[in-house]
Structure 1
């Protein structure tokens, strides 16, 4: 699939760090013009609710429960609420500050008389944003809110993907348990038959011991699968925000559909990856904070106004004769600070450079994840076809060996070898199928939620 991703990366970079003074664009990566592998042509477009394309009502329900109660999503939402509160504070600092003050005091006059004095007034203060410090702080806070919104979306996508992976792994494990359970039953029947033949003197005790060993090995494997299922079930409970002790997913037939990946993926899909969008917002916020640090060199200038009244009689407090007012202009310009402001500018620029590095790393990881999943899907498709041929041949060999064994034409060892081969091939095919589902979910996660441009 031919993809020209170089314009995409340029757009992401320019949108994130326009006029970024200290960021050197030289080390930034050049996106490849095409991926190494291609995918299927008969694909359907995924929507924002991408998990519904697996056509599994149980999966739909589990994702809905996770979105309502997952603690990681709730923590991300809480961090967003904190960022919005900080933004509100930054926006308020750019507005006039109005306050009301009232007081009462008692003091002695020169004649040694104690006098009670009442006061009430209205205070007004407004800082003139000469260097743009308040504006830069507000912009940085707004970008922090954007980043938190995108990180919340990324947390949701991650939880959705983990729920899908855990659920699909459970269903694959249930299918594998059925294979092993069937094998245990078959070996149990074989053991009963072999013991009868041994009592009749048709086979040696060695043959009985061999079947007993195979039966015990498969019973142990069945217990191992049970343990693995328990671990997956409790992990899924945590994703749903529920207690592991009370969560239970009843085993069922694995009938989940596998969405096909389209042969051509538009490069703009990467733009909607929430982690990339968050890194871009963080880069812009770091640029705004450089402006905050640079504005520290400007003088601070604030307008103040006061109006009110003061009187020794509470009833005279609001009369015109008791009124007072004043207007002031407060200016401050540090002359020598020991290099504090310059150090602040350097620290802000270093943070900006760090954000640019983080954005570059995130972009490279995004490309790697998409490339890995696409390559894995291509290889798994070929591996699945080979496994299907192996299962067919092994099943045919088992049927022939069983017939020959019952007619006394082959030894029991040959029959056991045929059973082991058929079991191994069926389990291998099932594991490849499970890997296809896991990789498809991984690709959806890597693309930010599927491959439909409108998703």
Structure 2
């Protein structure tokens, strides 16, 4: 076997490879569009009517006002001034399994970025081969041993930036996962606050119903005594009994609302309902925030995770155009190897260097169609981004109007409660003096019951709509993943 080998000069090969690589890289370009964040919305208002009414400090119909142009602060739920709520939210943030899954997904995406970036660097591997061979094309056939061992290097010059665009696309996907974490965080904190308020509301309504049931029982006793004395009829007794039994039906649905909210809080904290029981919240321990910061529409794209998700998806679509465009052009690859080879009694150091060029000539229009598909995909993603921004404006506008109407309804409900309380007192006095019937008293009690429960429900609606406003404004959730990572690293730094 004849082997043509050249002994390598170990100082010349790296120089030649480096010079050729630098020459090609200097002439290289990254094709496709460079992503630019869409311009901020020119809108200056969400709903001018609601903003004007809630922005008036002298508006006595509303207990709440907004501060336009200010961002929601961290830990927005602390504005309700409930120590129990603060504890439960913190417990949920630490134990929620959706956040744990989102955290792992982000780290998975970050690892994928590193893996994709590997294509930008030379790929070095090691090869070894050994065997036994029989040579026939000599005067005397012989059997010899042979081996070859040494490193191999391959490098895609990425002359048109296809690999760089793939890295860019993967980085945008990682950003997308971070914003999904922020969205899950925002949804979690909003749900915890809402469920806590539902528990407090159910407890308040149950307490009001229990007082009404006590009054019903007292009235029934009085009517029965009056019936024994002959001053009332059996019809009056039946009406009083009916009132009591009807009011008793109000308790089970309220108890179900309370228990369902407790179970929901347990699940949000990452535990089963039997393993963790939520505290009993009292509506009186919450304070309705009097001033709520409302960021400008032009800043909404930086405050809401769902808008940032849509932006990350748009960035991915933009990078996909670059990848598809780069596929239209040739690919240049360099390769080199160094091996120590031997066969029989002879051996030599071998090296080789090669440059490869491959490009499409005819593919039936596949690559152009793929690029056009990427362009159309970008346009579709851009429209989805714009729709997400508009939807976010609508959510804030709806919530502002809801808070505005809650204030009006609360004022009307307070008037209704005062009127019902006065009517009940007068009817009870008139009945004691024999001037009206028990039926009138029962009707006055029903009106008072409805007014009392209505006031609790309106107050609950005010709290819940305020929570929704904080959520609609983004809840200062952008950047919480970085804060979570920093908090994990802080104990390590302290220990070191």
Answer yes or no: is 1:345 the counterpart of 2:366: no
C-alpha displacement at 1:264, in angstroms?
A: 6.5
Aligned CA distance change for structure 1 residues 94 and 265 (closer, same or farther; 3 Å)? closer
Matched, 1:334 2:360: yes
- Deviations along 1:81-138, one digit per CA (max 9) or x if unpaired, are 2321221122111111111122322232335654332221111111011111011111
Out of 194, 199, 204, the residue aligned to residue 165 of structure 1 is: 194
1:44-443 to structure 2, matched below 5 A, reads 46-110=72-136, 113-254=142-283, 255-262=285-292, 265-270=295-300, 271-312=302-343, 321-443=347-469
Closer, same or farther: CA 114–220 of 1 in aligned 2, 3 Å: farther
After TM superposition, the structure 1 stretch with the greater mean CA deviation from structure 2, 67-76 or 351-360, is 67-76
* Count of paired positions: 426
SS of the residue aligned with 2:249?
A: helix
User: What secondary structure is seen at the aligned counterpart in 2 of 1:288?
Assistant: helix
Unaligned runs of 5+ in 1: 1-13, 19-27
* 2-structure distance, mates of 1:182, 1:113: 110
Return closer, same or farther for 1:112/1:415 CA change in 2, 3 Å cut-off. Answer: farther
SS class of match (2:250): helix
Q: Quick check: 1:401–1:410 contact (8 Å CA) kept in 2?
A: yes
CA distance in 2, matches of 1:269, 1:425: 41
Secondary structure in 2 matching 1:408: coil
Kindly state the Cα deviation for residue 246 of structure 1 after the two structures are TM-superposed. Answer: 2.9
The more displaced of 282-291 and 44-53 is 44-53
Please give the secondary structure, in 1, of the residue aligned with 2:400: helix
TM-score by length of 2: 0.80
Is the CA contact (8 Å cut-off) linking 2:41 and 2:297 kept in structure 1?
no
Q: Which residue of structure 2 lines up, in the alignment, with residue 21 of structure 1? A: none
Indicate if the aligned counterparts of 2:148 and 2:341 stay in contact, CA closer than 8 A.
yes
Q: What is the alpha-carbon distance in structure 2 between the residues aligned to residue 209 and residue 416 of structure 1?
A: 12
The structural deviation recorded for 1:30 is 6.6
Tell me, in whole angstroms, the C-alpha distance in 2 between the residues paired with 1:269 and 1:420.
Answer: 49
How far did residue 417 of structure 1 move? 0.8
User: Deviations along 1:404-439, whole A, 9 cap, x unmatched?
Assistant: 222322211111111111110111111111111111
CA distance in 2, matches of 1:414, 1:112: 125
SS of the residue 2:159 aligns to: coil
Residues 168 and 95 of structure 1: is their aligned pair in 2 closer, same or farther, counting only changes over 3 Å? Answer: same
Unaligned residue ranges in structure 2 (runs of 5+) = 1-34, 58-64, 478-496
Deviation at 1:29, TM superposition (A): 8.3
* Cα distance in 1, alignment partners of residues 109 and 262 from structure 2: 35
Q: Determine helix, strand or coil for the equivalent of 1:289.
A: helix
TM-score by length of 1: 0.87
